[in-house]
Chain A
Amino acid sequence: DAGVIQSPRHEVTEMGQEVTLRCKPISGHNSLFWYRQTMMRGLELLIYFNNNVPIDDSGMPEDRFSAKMPNASFSTLKIQPSEPRDSAVYFCASSPGTGLETQYFGPGTRLLVL
């Protein structure tokens, strides 16, 4: 299995621009998670989906952030407009179910907003 796939791996953009991060979970996994990693706060859960339905989006920083999962094999995290404080590494993870199953992380997207 290819594991969780994220694109792009690196993104540099200017403040005010729209940014779209993409994720393909492991085939057969029912849960998908978006995290943000910063030095100050570590790994923060932004939102997670079960069976393509958003379950908890309490970690989404503000209305500039939105996430979708149109089908079981694809999800996007969008930031519009982007700000310098959004600079971080964004990880997508998936897991087989909703219990104690391990979460498998993608390689991350390193975002820099100038």
Chain B
Amino acid sequence: DQQVKQNSPSLSVQEGRISILNCDYTNSMFDYFLWYKKYPAEGPTFLISISSIKDKNEDGRFTVFLNKSAKHLSLHIVPSQPGDSAVYFCAAKPTGGGNKLTFGTGTQLKVEL
């Protein structure tokens, strides 16, 4: 049973436009959420995170929004750049769960010129 779901396996966006990657979760015990980015032949790298006490966290071109009532989060990339082309994984951590993360299946983002 996938507790963290990324329903869009791929997304294609033009350079300069906004990329929106979505993630849904089912476990109400999750209280901390992260996005990781993965390039081919490399391991995932941390991108941005958000605690459940917030509904928005911004870091440069990257913003994560959290809607707790809908159990939904999204990652916005503005403006999108060709170097942003990668697989993006959403991950979640439960309250009191140490540092155990549950990951989604990932979304392949392609930013086209």
Residues of A within 8 A of B (CB): 4, 31, 35, 39-45, 48, 50, 55-56, 91, 93, 95, 97-108
Contacts and interface: CB of A to CB of B under 8 A. Distances in A.
B22 to A, nearest CB: 14
Interface in B85-108: 89, 91, 93, 98-106
Of A31, A98, A102, chain B has the most CB atoms within 10 Å of the CB of: A102
| Interface size classification for chain B | 20 to 34
Contacts of A48: 99-100
Q: Interface majority SS on B: helix, strand, loop or mixed?
A: loop
Interface of B: 2, 6, 32, 34, 36, 41-46, 49, 89, 91, 93, 98-106
B89 A103 contact: no
Contacts of A106: 43
B44 A99 contact: no
Contacts of B2: 41
Contacts of B91: 43
A106 to B, nearest CB: 5
Given A41-B2, A105-B43, A107-B41, 10 more contacts: A31-B99, A39-B105, A40-B105, A43-B89, A43-B106, A45-B100, A55-B100, A91-B43, A93-B43, A108-B43
Given A42-B106, A43-B89, A48-B100, A91 B46 contact: no
A42 B98 contact: no
A98 B102 contact: no
Given A48-B100, A91-B43, A105-B44, A100 B89 contact: no
Nearest to B32: A100
B99 A100 contact: yes
A105 B101 CA distance: 13
Contacts of A44: 103
Contacts of A101: 99
Of B36, B102, B105, chain A has the most CB atoms within 10 Å of the CB of: B105
A50 B98 contact: yes
Given A42-B106, A43-B44, A103 B100 contact: no
